[in-house]
Structure formats: structure tokens, C-alpha cells
Structure 1
Amino acid sequence: MSSSSEIPALSLFCFSDVARDNFADKYEQLLSNARLADALNFHAIWTPERHFHTFGGMFANPSVISAALAACTQRIGIRAGSVVLPLHEPLRVAEEWAIVDNLSHGRVGVAFASGWQRNDFVLRAENYRHRQQVLYSSLAQIQALWRGESVERHELSLPAQPEPITLKTWPAPFQPKIPVWLTTGSNPDLFIEAGRRGLNVLTHLVSQTREQLVENCVAYRLARRQAGLDPTGGIITLMLHTQAGKERQTLLPRLKPALTDYLRAFMALSDNLSQSPTSDAEQNEKKQAYTLRWGVEKYLNHCGLFGSAQECAEQLAQFRQEGIDEVACLMDFGMPQSSVEETLRTLSTLL
């Protein structure tokens, strides 16, 4: 997708913390924002998959939400960011997303992830330790099924009594090929693997610096070239916390408390991966307080898209030069609905 456009394509990314919210109201806001982004000519709308936590907890099934988004919009891309593939039976993933693809008349795209939150794997505990391998094997099945091919399965076989069965899934999708993103943070190996396999990339700045992102973008393009693919093809999508309208300095007093609460919730979600049961509680608390302060400053100063239309245009142009094809703007991190709408309308002037 790489082109001479001065700024990346602009999309909407939804990932709100819903600890104290009315869920019905939040879903209505989601649909309202999707309709507005659709009318304003945004490129796509992304929704994640999250389980068992208030952080992103309203997004327990991206295919269900995407079906609703498909029904209430006309042209905007409908994207999952991401389906945690080792939690799912690939046959069901192919079925569900083919339905959404038909409902949307071919607007579906799916980012697949191996998963990182340990508690999620109570759904498929057997896949946790080998989740990266399961991701690729399941993806191969989904891509084959999407093309209308059959897959052979052996789950009904007994010891010494093989009973393979051959299956196709229905409905047939609207698109002949499913657009696929591989989700990764800072891991250069995953950028390279995505490039080698001809996949797009969905990434973020939670665990990488801008300099690392540039290096990873270069590695992705090189991997495509070495695999015999067009190095300028493929899409690198970057999720960015975003608020636009007033000048950046005017926005900062409202942004800081919203980002602090949002990142605190994210850190709580990450706790069971970063701490052992025997960790010192006081030491952990001090470390978390420091990490939270550092994280807020990082986003405010280096890793967010904040400011007036002109300020955002300048930041977006820089990201485009650094190799980013699409920016997925995360706006629902605690800012009021009026600010989200103002952000959408402001950014639409750049489209």
C-alpha cells in the first residue's frame, strides 16, 4: 500500500476501559462513532478482542461487534484488531468472519495475534505454551477455507483407528482472499515473518521506541523483497492514542488524567505476566508508580497524536516518512464523547 501520499490513511481504533460505564450506552457510542467515521470518509474501524477484565472488556467478541458495525455503516473498512487466534477453533473463525464479510459486502480485514494475557487461555489452555505455532497453523487453515478449499481434520480419530474427515465452511466469503494483519509490538522477528508471509502488520508504541519502529518497518520491507514480493506492498498500521481539535498545549491538561487512568487499567491487565506470586508488594507498587508516570509522559511527548489539525498533519507526515501506511486513531481512552467527535471532525479535514 506504500505510496507517495503525504500522510497515512486514517482509521478509528476502539479499546475503552469500561469499569464504571453503562455498557448499553457504550455500545451506542461505538455505533455512533462508526457512523460518523463512515460519513467522514475514514479508512476503517478497528475493534479488539479482550476477556475477563474491564480494560477492553466490552470487546469480548470482535466478530459480533463487527457484524453490528457492518450493518450500520456503508463504506468504512471493518477490522478486528485483533482476533487472538489460539483461543479459537479456526473453522469457527472462518465461518464467523465470512458472515461479516457478506454483511459488509467485502469490507472485512482481520489482524491475528498469538495472545499475551495469560488468563485468557482458560478458554484454550492447551495452546498457551505453543501459541505462536498455533497462530500460524490456524491462520493457514483459515486462509485455505476462505479460498474455498477443504481442510482435513483428525479430531474424531481414535488410537489406531484413523478417521480423518474433510471439511469446507459456509457461507462463502464475499472477498476471494481475506486481508490479514499480524499483530506485534516491538519484536523484529514478527515484522520479518509478516513480510516473508505477505501479511500486513498491526503494531503500536507500547513496547517500542520510534527508532525501533523505523527499524522494524525497514526489516518488514526487506523481508518482502527477499521473499520475492513487492517491497512497497503490504500495509503497516500503527495504533496511536489520538485527540485533535485544539492546540496541543491546550489539550494537555485534559489528556494527562485520562491517559493516567487508562494506562493504570492497562497495567492492571498486564500484572499477571510481569509479576511472580512471590514478588515484593511494596517494591512492585513503587515500580508501577514509576512506570505509570513514565508511560504518561512517553505518550504525551512521543507516542500520541495530539493537537490542532495542522499539528496532527505535521506528526502524521513524519510517521508516513518513517514507513507507516495507516494510523489507527485510538480516541476512547477516557475523553468525553464530545472530544471524540471533535477529533473525528478535525482529522477528517486532512483526508
Structure 2
Amino acid sequence: MKIGVTFFPTVGLQDKAASQYYDECLALAVLADELGYHHIKTVEHYFFTYGGYSPDPVTFLAAVAARTTRIRIGTSAVIPAFTHPIKLAGKLAMLDNLSHGRLDVAFGRAFLPDEFEAFGVPMDESRERFDEGVEACKALWESENVRFEGRFHSFGPVTLLPRTVQRPHPPVYVTSARSLDSCKAAGSLGHRLQLVPGILSLEQMQEALRVYRAAWADAGRDPSDAEVHLGYPCYIADDAEEAYRIGRYDDERNGAAISAAVSSWGRVSSSSYPGYEKLADTRLRAGFDQKLAKNKILAGTPETVAQQLATVANRFGDNLVVSLNLHSGHLSQQESERTLRLMAEQVVPSLPGARSAV
């Protein structure tokens, strides 16, 4: 098991200035590098407190790369539907060079109607734009004199500069919310997989992993390379009630942020996103205690969080990359630092086979 950090802001101007949030996250990234964590990742979102302080992951990750030496940096995720593939592939290739080959690239489809509307992109095209964007970026990284003919973008022959440090390209992750077809496609194409435990049942998670790993093996690939990324909110303190207190508060604020961001699903539907209209119904959203009971949130003392991670490993198998969402901006930098240190110094050493380098 490898362990890293994802920054997913859910704050806005009424909470704290963006510059303060970035400063706090950069300080935490430096500490994570010093403690030996595996990665730092951040998201791409717009307009809302739900991720809106991170419209360009590459900009933030370039700042992380300049301040760190060992830790991997990653997108979680960039959205091909909103950026021309030449621009996107070029920015990411530049970041791979600035980090001296420490980049992981996760691509996502996006799911917020207001973002698609602002970019003038029909939601029903999201799957095709995603597939075409990933294909085009990989072609630009892998080859020279690339000629590309797609439904949405055609170009070439062109040779992208700079070339990526990692050859043929940085590791590629794709995110799947609920689609087993997406999991199968990721395995067949040799992409690593990102799943969101918070929105899937245990049975759905296990079936998604079974489909993905079977497709990976059927394609003749080494099973040990089939990494799966799982993200969890995380709150650790020596006193369990303190961890639950800050976790409950952060979860409530995060819930308010996502409720505002997904409210437009109450007036929108898309054949490409079956069932997503339910996101607008806040009555269906689980609370902190329900998530904790189902192991969808990591919280408590170092001992209890170690037990939770052991359960994650037992349920979901090998080659897991666990990413801790520990600083949405509502907690203090010191509280997030405490979680980072306790995870590195007390939790990870007690895990059998943990390979976070902590």
C-alpha cells in the first residue's frame, strides 16, 4: 500500500483567501515530502467552493515540484473535454520535466452541469471527448510527427515539445464513478484506475476491481502493475473524540459545498450520466457517522486508523494507492499537519507491507 495526499478545496472567499489556502497546502506538501509520502495530487473544478480554488492543477503542482525533491505529483484529475489536447499534453509534459519525471496523470470526465455549460460543451459528448482527449495526449507524448483525426480535434503532423521525461509517457490513471465498462476499458488499455469509495458500496467496489483486474490480465499485462487509487478523507488525533469532532465539522462543510455544486442536477438530465439527477437530493447523502461506520472515512486514533487501512487492504487487495484528503481548507494547517505526522510516524509503521516510504 502506498499512501499520499490529495488536496480538494471546499472553501471560498467567505472562508479564506485563495493565497492563504495555497500557502497552507504548499507547506503541507513540503512536510509530506520530508516524511516520505508517495504523492501529492489535486483536482480540477470551477466556480463553486467545491473545488473552485483549483481550476488548474498543473499550476499548483508546478509550485509543489519546485519545493520538493522526492514525492510524486499528480492530477486528480484534468478534464480533456475542457482543454485542447495539444495544450493539455504540452502543459503536462512541461510539468513532467519540471518535476524530473515525478508526474502521474489522472484524467476525468467531469460531472457538474454548470462547468459544461460555461465551456459550451454538451454533457452528452463527455465520454467521447474524454476518450479522444486521452488518446490524443498519449499519441503526442509517445510519438513524433503526430497526425490526429478525431471527431472534436484534428491536427498534424506535429511533434510536441518538450518530450516527457518518463517514456513513453507518465503513468495514466482514469477515474470511474460507477461504470463497469469504464473499468474494463481502463484495464484493457493499460491505464491505472481511480475509484471513489465514498460513493460506492462495498459490493460495487469489489466488482469494479474484479472487472478491471480481469481486463488487465486478459490483455497480457503484469498484474503487479495494475495500481488502483482510492481516496479517503482522513482525520487523526491521539484523542479519538477530537478526531471525530474535526472530521464531523469538515464533512459537514464539504457536504454543503458539494450540495451547492450539484444542485443544477435538479433541472438537468443526461443520458451519459444515468441516475445523476439523484445527486441534487440532499436527503440521500450520508453523514459522517454513517461514512465512518462503513469505512468510507478514516478517522480516530492512530491505532483505529491502522485497523481501518488493514480492512481496506483486506477488502480490495494488492497494488492500492491510498490518497488522504486532509485539508479542504476548513481545518487549521496545524490540525492537518498532525494527521500527516501521526499517519507517517505511528500508523504506517504498524501496517504489514506498507510502502509509502514513510
SS of alignment partner, residue 172 of structure 1: coil
- The change in CA–CA distance for 1:150 and 1:120 in structure 2 (over 3 A counts) is farther
- The answer to whether residue 78 in structure 2 is matched with residue 83 in structure 1 is yes
Amino acid of the residue matched to residue 18 of structure 1? Answer: V
Which stretch of the first structure deviates more once superposed, 298-307 or 249-258? Answer: 249-258
- The answer to whether residue 169 in structure 2 is matched with residue 173 in structure 1 is no
- The answer to whether residue 37 in structure 2 is matched with residue 42 in structure 1 is yes
Query: After superposition, what is the alpha-carbon deviation per residue over 1:139-179, rounded to whole angstroms, capped at 9, x for unaligned?
Result: 11111111233322579xxxxxxx97411111111111221
* CA deviation after TM superposition for structure 1 residue 52, in Å: 1.3
Give the aligned length.
329
Find the counterpart in structure 1 of residue 327 from structure 2: 332
- The answer to whether residue 334 in structure 2 is matched with residue 341 in structure 1 is no
Amino acid of the residue matched to residue 173 of structure 1? Answer: T
Which ranges of structure 2 fall in alignment gaps of 5 or more residues?
270-277, 349-357
CA distance in 1 between partners of 2:144 and 2:126 (Å): 24
Q: 1:143 aligns with which of 123, 138, 143?
A: 138
* CA deviation after TM superposition for structure 1 residue 329, in Å: 0.2
Amino acid of the residue matched to residue 31 of structure 1? Answer: L
Matches within 5 A, 1:175-214: 175-176=166-167, 177-214=169-206
Query: After superposition, what is the alpha-carbon deviation per residue over 1:29-84, rounded to whole angstroms, capped at 9, x for unaligned?
Result: 01101000000000000100011112111101011111111111111001000001
* CA deviation after TM superposition for structure 1 residue 246, in Å: 2.3
Does the CA-based 8 Å contact 2:247-2:299 persist in structure 1? no
Identity %: 25
SS of alignment partner, residue 16 of structure 1: coil
SS of alignment partner, residue 206 of structure 1: helix
Q: 1:220 aligns with which of 204, 212, 227?
A: 212
- The change in CA–CA distance for 1:178 and 1:268 in structure 2 (over 3 A counts) is same
- The change in CA–CA distance for 1:231 and 1:127 in structure 2 (over 3 A counts) is farther
Query: After superposition, what is the alpha-carbon deviation per residue over 1:75-107, rounded to whole angstroms, capped at 9, x for unaligned?
Result: 100100000111110101111011111110000
Query: After superposition, what is the alpha-carbon deviation per residue over 1:263-317, rounded to whole angstroms, capped at 9, x for unaligned?
Result: 111121111124459xxxxxx9x952x334x333332322111122222222112
Find the counterpart in structure 2 of residue 58 from structure 1: 53
Amino acid of the residue matched to residue 207 of structure 1? Answer: I
Q: Give the TM-score taking structure 1 as reference length.
A: 0.88
Does the CA-based 8 Å contact 1:152-1:165 persist in structure 2? yes
* CA deviation after TM superposition for structure 1 residue 252, in Å: 1.7
* CA deviation after TM superposition for structure 1 residue 16, in Å: 1.6
- The answer to whether residue 223 in structure 2 is matched with residue 231 in structure 1 is yes
Does the CA-based 8 Å contact 2:244-2:300 persist in structure 1? no
Amino acid of the residue matched to residue 161 of structure 2? Answer: W
CA distance in 1 between partners of 2:211 and 2:202 (Å): 14
Q: 1:100 aligns with which of 72, 95, 99?
A: 95
CA distance in 2 between partners of 1:124 and 1:306 (Å): 38
- The change in CA–CA distance for 1:309 and 1:85 in structure 2 (over 3 A counts) is same
Find the counterpart in structure 2 of residue 296 from structure 1: 288
- The answer to whether residue 114 in structure 2 is matched with residue 110 in structure 1 is no
Does the CA-based 8 Å contact 2:193-2:227 persist in structure 1? yes
Find the counterpart in structure 1 of residue 354 from structure 2: none
**Whose Rg is larger?**
1
CA distance in 1 between partners of 2:95 and 2:334 (Å): 29
* CA deviation after TM superposition for structure 1 residue 221, in Å: 0.8
* CA deviation after TM superposition for structure 1 residue 15, in Å: 0.4
CA distance in 2 between partners of 1:151 and 1:261 (Å): 46
* CA deviation after TM superposition for structure 1 residue 253, in Å: 2.7
Q: Give the TM-score taking structure 2 as reference length.
A: 0.86
CA distance in 1 between partners of 2:122 and 2:107 (Å): 15
- The answer to whether residue 27 in structure 2 is matched with residue 32 in structure 1 is yes
Which stretch of the first structure deviates more once superposed, 103-112 or 321-330? Answer: 321-330
CA distance in 2 between partners of 1:110 and 1:150 (Å): 23
Cα RMSD, aligned residues only:
2.3
Does the CA-based 8 Å contact 2:247-2:288 persist in structure 1? no
Which stretch of the first structure deviates more once superposed, 306-315 or 146-155? Answer: 146-155
Does the CA-based 8 Å contact 2:106-2:175 persist in structure 1? yes
Q: 1:317 aligns with which of 291, 302, 310?
A: 310
Find the counterpart in structure 2 of residue 14 from structure 1: 7
Find the counterpart in structure 2 of residue 159 from structure 1: none
